[in-house]
Structure 1
């Protein structure tokens, strides 16, 4: 029995040592991320979403998805039940999620008055293309609706962040969103990866070379899961060469949970 007990103790010590080394290795890997980048994807028609997921998995890169219920190639929307398994799989892989407003609602201007109100034009949903006046509460409700939906689909709490469609905001809009618990995330100038631009004048090879030349540590990068107007899709053609090229230059990839401008906000809004 004594020998058996001794063997069990040695196995326990070895197991704890192995766990400690594994945790230390993980912490060391994080500490070595001296040139972080924050790759983000907004929803779109979702036509390239499976291919994007394959690249991210193959390259072991975690990203932050900003989600809206946008029209898809199959005439549903990007947050419907058809896409639920896809989103759930991304959550299992460690990706993060945040709101892009449920109706992909563009800010068009502030409305004068005592209470903050905004001219808003949704580009998705039943009222796409029409302009409305929304109160701050109504705008916050649309941010929260996308967050709630992705939380329901994935079982993972999204980050308390949002991205306004087109990045279009005003100080009043940002203040209203912060008051209801959401900080806005834009992108770096070099982080605009160009997948929204016409491929006739901005071909993929040009966009790739430009990104590899101009991206700097700490940049937030922006791409989409499908752009209707681009004839030669940016993703996944450029995505993998871009990731490989950036890694070769010493860059590493983090989600926005670890971004120094947002980590404290995220911690304060669990």
Structure 2
């Protein structure tokens, strides 16, 4: 059946065409070809509306990515680290992806205080929306809550990395996390997917063109597994065209376990 203009399928087809026409003379790198560079795809939890699509797309292209997990409200009406998501996370672990903490209650840093303390604001959980002053130990405990739940769901542990919500860190946050074995991972400027921005201002075609033109070897790319506020979701239109376009440029993909800035940390 032919996709009607404006439909999700026609938008995805248009995005794939954009990726193909942007680099028409290039072909996907074969296994025998050396990679011209490596891109590190990372995904933070979110509404989880795109979780299955992301998993299917990565599997289709045989790509390993890195996921940062928080216990967020999902479009199913449950939470992303509920037992109902055990099968999903077990499958991703079996596929060889890497996993880090995103703080259990998606806790935003607000400011540092004396003595290593920090003011934070959880987005979810019993203290959602309330500013609290935490000690370094409390921040460590929050990071480890994700590890504990992930182990309950999958039988394996997180990798020794975390991503602060919004990417907002501070000397106290980093010191606290390092004291309990977690290293922070941000993303490259060119690696910001823009999936949190208003689609009316930053349409998917613009975001795709920007990423394909700007990403370079070693860049960490960040997107979410669903954003509540964006009217035209990023992943259905852009994820596969982005992968195809990068493959046509000769890029390969890997988890942060292989990233030169983080590989040694994984071995500690």
TM category, shorter: 0.7 to 0.9
Given that 1:187 and 1:219 are in contact with CA atoms closer than 8 Å, whether structure 2 keeps it comes out as yes
- Residue 209 of structure 1 corresponds to 209
- 1:106–1:165 contact (8 Å) kept in structure 2: yes
Whole-Å separation in 2 of the counterparts to 1:195 and 1:88:
26
2: distance between equivalents of 1:230 and 1:153? 29
Count of aligned pairs: 239
Match of 2:233 in 1: 233
1:55–1:236 CA contact under 8 A, matched in 2: no
- In the other structure, the counterpart of 2:17 is none
On the 8 A contact 2:100/2:159 being kept in 1, the answer is yes
Which of residues 45, 48, 70 in structure 2 aligns to 1:46?
A: 48
Q: Unaligned stretches of 5+ in structure 2?
A: 1-30
1:164/1:30 CA distance change after superposition, 3 Å: farther
Partner of 1:119: 119
SS of the residue 1:142 aligns to: helix
Distance 1:222 1:88 in 2: 22
Contact 1:97-1:150 at 8 Å conserved across structures: no
Aligned-pair CA distance for 1:238: 0.3
Distance 2:107 2:60 in 1: 33
The counterpart of 2:61, out of the listed 43, 47, 59, is 59
Structure showing greater radius of gyration is 1
Distance in 1 between residues matched to 2:58 and 2:157, nearest whole Å: 21
Equivalent residue, structure 1, for 2:16: none
Counterparts of 1:141 and 1:176, CA distance in 2: 10
Q: How far 1:34 moved relative to its partner?
A: 4.3
The structure, 1 or 2, with the larger RCO (C-alpha pairs under 8 Å, 6+ apart) is 2
Partners of 2:207 and 2:253 lie apart in 1 by: 19
SS at 2:74 equivalent: coil
Moved more, 61-70 or 120-129: 120-129
Displacement after TM superposition at 1:152 (Å): 2.3
- RMSD of Structure 2 on Structure 1 (CA): 1.5
2:151 and 2:237 map into 1 onto residues whose CA distance is 30
**Paired residue for 1:99, among 95, 98, 101?**
101
Instruction: Report the alpha carbon displacement of residue 74 of structure 1 after superposing the two structures with TM.
Output: 2.3
SS at match of 2:173: helix
What is the SS of the residue equivalent to 1:235? Answer: helix
